[in-house]
Structure 1
Amino acid sequence: MTTRTTIRIPGFRGDVIAPDHHDYDDARAVWNGTVDRRPRLIARCSGTADVAAAVRYARDRDLEIAVRGGGHNVAGAAVCDGGIVIDLSAMRAVSVDPVERTALVQGGALWGDVDHETQAHGLATTGGIVSHTGVGGLTLGGGIGWLMRKHGLAVDNLVEAEVVTAEGEIIWASASDHPDLFWALRGGGGNFGIVSSFRFALHSVGPIVIAGPVFWPAEDTTEVLRFYREFVTDAPDELGNIVKLTTIPPLPVIDEHLHFQPTIAVASCYAGPVEDGERAVRALRQFGKPLLDLVGPTLYVDHQSGLDATVPHGWHYYWKATNLTGLSDEVIDIVAAHAHRATSPRSYAAMFHMGGAIPRAPRDATAYAGRDVDHNIIVHAAWLPEQDDTVRAAETAWARAFLDALQLHRAGVYVNFLDSDDDASRVREAYGDDTYRRLADVKAKFDPENVLHNNKNIQPRTPAQ
């Protein structure tokens, strides 16, 4: 008979999972299957008090801390070797106040949890493009999604946050309470505390929206991108668009003869009346000779989860990304030349149209620093776990070469798109010098010992600096 290790954390009511626990391998697995780390302990919290107890336990024993919300970070920040994972994945409650139009969301919730509860009241907030993404990680880095041009980023909709500090204290941060911390949380990542609850502002959305992708053959990429550049110039704020350069996914709604055919797609979501949305996307749908048009009235929750099957848990992923100064002919030529060089049919490049409400927010209101860019692009290499190192090497080389080719057109980077080999210089690139210094000051106040450093780290600023 095997004796299982029993570890007790004072004041902790959740599950404590050690390496000999039958759930250990599942509990340490994250979305990116390339991440294979073995923590000493996983503390699966049942509530905020457990989070605080786990922090104090780790501090008392000088244990490395990783924080898991949705576990979706491509760099694998949610798990560490030899330390403790403070796991919020059991904390997924969402409570909607339809009168005040707010939602209180626990730190382990996924965006699918939020959409499920808020759409019951015809409400939503900006939250990702994949429903199994965690609320915490996406929000703390800024939070881009389909609704951002109309309703702002996720951080623009954050009203207050319950935070467990690096000392294990529980505080609330808002515009009136700890405003410096509140500013830093909105874009500065998981550097300043563990957010156990978020309160978001909600907006009327759906339940039916005009949404979906239009696909053209890959050889039409240059022409489609040049049309798209003009199409989005006067696009209404309600219209969110994402360009995806990929192969057609093998989804049940798509005829088999189109599966994995190289393509350029423009996916849209209109955050307004269906009739207005149909007019807004008409020119897009009529351009050229599309292979496939899946735009139409759809439930917002279905659109939010429509890409889930194309990026499942456990596949191997590698990202490179940058903001773009614009879509010049030169940028379009670079994108067209590199996008379809991937050898894996699961790899893709995606370009997000920014603008709208994003640049209209006060520049110093949040730590998110990419408000003035028109587009950002992510080069997303993906391959199956059973494929060998030859495939991995080819896909990662493709992503790096793509980013290198865009060097002269880069304008910062979205911090949530940084991978594990993006160093401190790229973190500074995400914020710029002034915002980084201000973040470093807040870090020095709330985490001077840099306890929370398994993230895209902001170093605490010392008086000498």
Structure 2
Amino acid sequence: MEALKNTGAIVVSKADGEEAYTSALKRNSALSVLEAEYVIYPTEIRHIPAIIAYATSQSPPIEIAVKCGGAHSSTWASSNGGIVIDLARLDAVRVSEDKATVVVQGGTTWGKVYIECQKANVDVVGGPFWFVGVGGYLTGGGYSPFTPERGLAIDNILSAVVVLADGRTVRTSATEEPDLFWAIRGGGNQFGIVVEFTLKAFPPGGPFTVGIIAYPGTEIEKVLKVVQDWKATYTTREKMNITFARPAPHFKPAVTILPWVSQDASGRSAEVLAPFRALKPILDTCAPVPDMLAVSHSLDGLFAVAPPHLTIRGALISDLWTDLMLGLFYNWVAFTEENPDAKSTTVLWELSGADKIAAVGSTETAFHAREPHFWVAIQGRSSAEESVPIMRKFVAESTEYMRRENRKKTGKDAGYFINFAQGEEPIEEVFGPNLPRLRKLKAKYDPKKVWSKGCLIEPDFD
């Protein structure tokens, strides 16, 4: 303990009392919590190398996990008996004087980024929810409301600062440590602790129309028909989520539309919403909000009452086939009917243009899924621990169902999205054709596998 305190960081352990220790372990999902020996909060970047040196010098070495926002539903940001480096105190955000870039530290959340962007009247390609940490989001790829117009978040990173396994702190970009820059853009948490990102900034896209349009589940075929019509005409300044959910107080199956439309003088939001409103929804809360800070808080009410046990898996699919969507809908209805404690389990479909994603080659960044696609997330939720095994089973089977159907329809696999993975997925399907290069770079930057949490990349020393 004294050796760790001498690093200059804040150290929390069981000896500090149950309240402080439990708070330090808290995550977005109760299923993500493991009891670490120490939770360490560096307040300066220079504290981190000493923490790594301490952990790796022990015999055997102590496991290190790194936490940014703690929103991932896996245990990647937690450790059973090891050390968690919690970056929460490294949360500075700085907009450049010319408003061309935003520098964010790796422990901040998108809510804090959007507060500073609001002040400076700029936007960045970032996450949809305020509580998501920038570090995990960005190194995983980063789907954003702005993706149809500006690409993935990783395509808008200009440079980064990374603390490596050997304790060195390096700046990386297209011209400085370019191999590392390639790897952290989609390679996840396998190459070091990214403590700072420099992001492209651009003029604000708001106000935005957001909200919820809900229908009884019996109307799903009509809703999906309107969705397909919209899909044929959508622009780069809009996206849409479709969810299957059982909202309180009756918990009957429902299909909901969650639009995001960047405002302009053409009245596009009214045009987008008109055919959905013509179906006579039972709920329509859509309204303009001024900026991405407001967008990131738009579903706070739903998250506040969500059951604590959450597990998420997701799949990439090549197209939005109505028969696939209906098949998953009826499977979900049956599951949530038979398992009342898991009735808060939802299915989320992300619909947005992918031309900007596809404009980058599959080997230009570590993120390989560059052919046009959509993503689907199965969000298993329950109140009681007893329901967790059956919930996990449904989530895994639903993900595999979508992948299997995609292969049947296209003859190929669309791959996994690392931020919706649990670490059990075949590594070849997470990183695709980029895995051989990633293995070589793992050997270069982390030969002893200090970074072993998550989708572990085995180093290739040949």
**TM exceeds 0.5?**
yes
Question: What are the within-5 Å matches in structure 2 for residues 15-414 of structure 1?
Answer: 15-22=10-17, 23-61=20-58, 62-248=61-247, 260-273=251-264, 275-300=266-291, 301-311=293-303, 315-340=308-333, 341-342=335-336, 343=340, 344-354=342-352, 355-384=354-383, 387-389=384-386, 391-406=387-402, 407-409=404-406, 411-414=414-417
3-state SS of 2:155 partner: helix
- The worse-fitting range, judged by mean Cα deviation, of 329-338 and 312-321 is 312-321
3-state SS of 2:364 partner: coil
* Superposition deviation, residue 284 in structure 1: 4.2
What is the CA–CA distance in structure 2 between the aligned matches of 1:187 and 1:287, rounded to whole Å? 41
Alignment deviations for residues 319-364 of structure 1 (CA, whole Å, 9 cap, x no partner): 2211112122431331232233324332100011241422123333
3-state SS of 1:183 partner: helix
Aligned partner of 2:418 in structure 1 is 415
Aligned partner of 1:253 in structure 2 is none
TM normalised by structure 1 equals 0.90
Give unpaired runs (5+ residues) of structure 2.
407-412
What is the CA–CA distance in structure 1 between the aligned matches of 2:262 and 2:359, rounded to whole Å? 18
**Are the counterparts in 1 of residues 230 and 272 from structure 2 also a CA contact under 8 Å?**
no
- What is the identity, as a one-letter code, of the residue corresponding to 1:168? G
- What is the identity, as a one-letter code, of the residue corresponding to 1:19? K
Aligned partner of 1:429 in structure 2 is 429
Fraction of identical pairs, as percent? 24
Say if 1:225 and 1:430 are closer, same or farther in 2 by CA, change over 3 A: farther
Aligned partner of 1:3 in structure 2 is none
**Are the counterparts in 2 of residues 125 and 151 from structure 1 also a CA contact under 8 Å?**
no
* Superposition deviation, residue 392 in structure 1: 2.3
**Are the counterparts in 2 of residues 222 and 336 from structure 1 also a CA contact under 8 Å?**
no
What is the CA–CA distance in structure 1 between the aligned matches of 2:259 and 2:41, rounded to whole Å? 37
Say if 1:51 and 1:350 are closer, same or farther in 2 by CA, change over 3 A: same
3-state SS of 1:368 partner: coil
3-state SS of 1:396 partner: helix
* Superposition deviation, residue 314 in structure 1: 7.8
Alignment deviations for residues 269-316 of structure 1 (CA, whole Å, 9 cap, x no partner): 123426443245234433422112222211222221222343359811
Say if 1:287 and 1:168 are closer, same or farther in 2 by CA, change over 3 A: farther
What is the CA–CA distance in structure 2 between the aligned matches of 1:38 and 1:25, rounded to whole Å? 9
What number of residue pairs does the alignment pair up?
443
Alignment deviations for residues 226-283 of structure 1 (CA, whole Å, 9 cap, x no partner): 32123123210111211111133x6xxxxxx7x6443111212123426443245234
3-state SS of 1:8 partner: helix
**Are the counterparts in 2 of residues 70 and 134 from structure 1 also a CA contact under 8 Å?**
yes
Say if 1:116 and 1:37 are closer, same or farther in 2 by CA, change over 3 A: same
What is the CA–CA distance in structure 2 between the aligned matches of 1:98 and 1:239, rounded to whole Å? 29
- What is the identity, as a one-letter code, of the residue corresponding to 2:12? I
Say if 1:79 and 1:32 are closer, same or farther in 2 by CA, change over 3 A: same
* Superposition deviation, residue 207 in structure 1: 4.3
- What is the identity, as a one-letter code, of the residue corresponding to 1:243? I
- The worse-fitting range, judged by mean Cα deviation, of 408-417 and 340-349 is 340-349
- The worse-fitting range, judged by mean Cα deviation, of 154-163 and 54-63 is 54-63
Query: Which of the two has greater helix per residue?
Result: 2
Say if 1:56 and 1:36 are closer, same or farther in 2 by CA, change over 3 A: same
Say if 1:394 and 1:171 are closer, same or farther in 2 by CA, change over 3 A: same
Alignment deviations for residues 44-103 of structure 1 (CA, whole Å, 9 cap, x no partner): 110211122211221222211111111112112111112111111111111111514211
* Superposition deviation, residue 9 in structure 1: 2.7
Give unpaired runs (5+ residues) of structure 1.
1-5, 251-256
Alignment deviations for residues 180-233 of structure 1 (CA, whole Å, 9 cap, x no partner): 110110111010010111111112224422222221211122332232123123
Say if 1:424 and 1:55 are closer, same or farther in 2 by CA, change over 3 A: same
What is the CA–CA distance in structure 2 between the aligned matches of 1:319 and 1:92, rounded to whole Å? 26
- The worse-fitting range, judged by mean Cα deviation, of 174-183 and 359-368 is 359-368
What is the CA–CA distance in structure 2 between the aligned matches of 1:437 and 1:283, rounded to whole Å? 49
- What is the identity, as a one-letter code, of the residue corresponding to 1:47? E
- The worse-fitting range, judged by mean Cα deviation, of 137-146 and 22-31 is 22-31
Alignment match of 2:9 (pick from 4, 7, 14): 14
3-state SS of 1:124 partner: coil
CA RMSD of superposed structures (Å) = 2.1
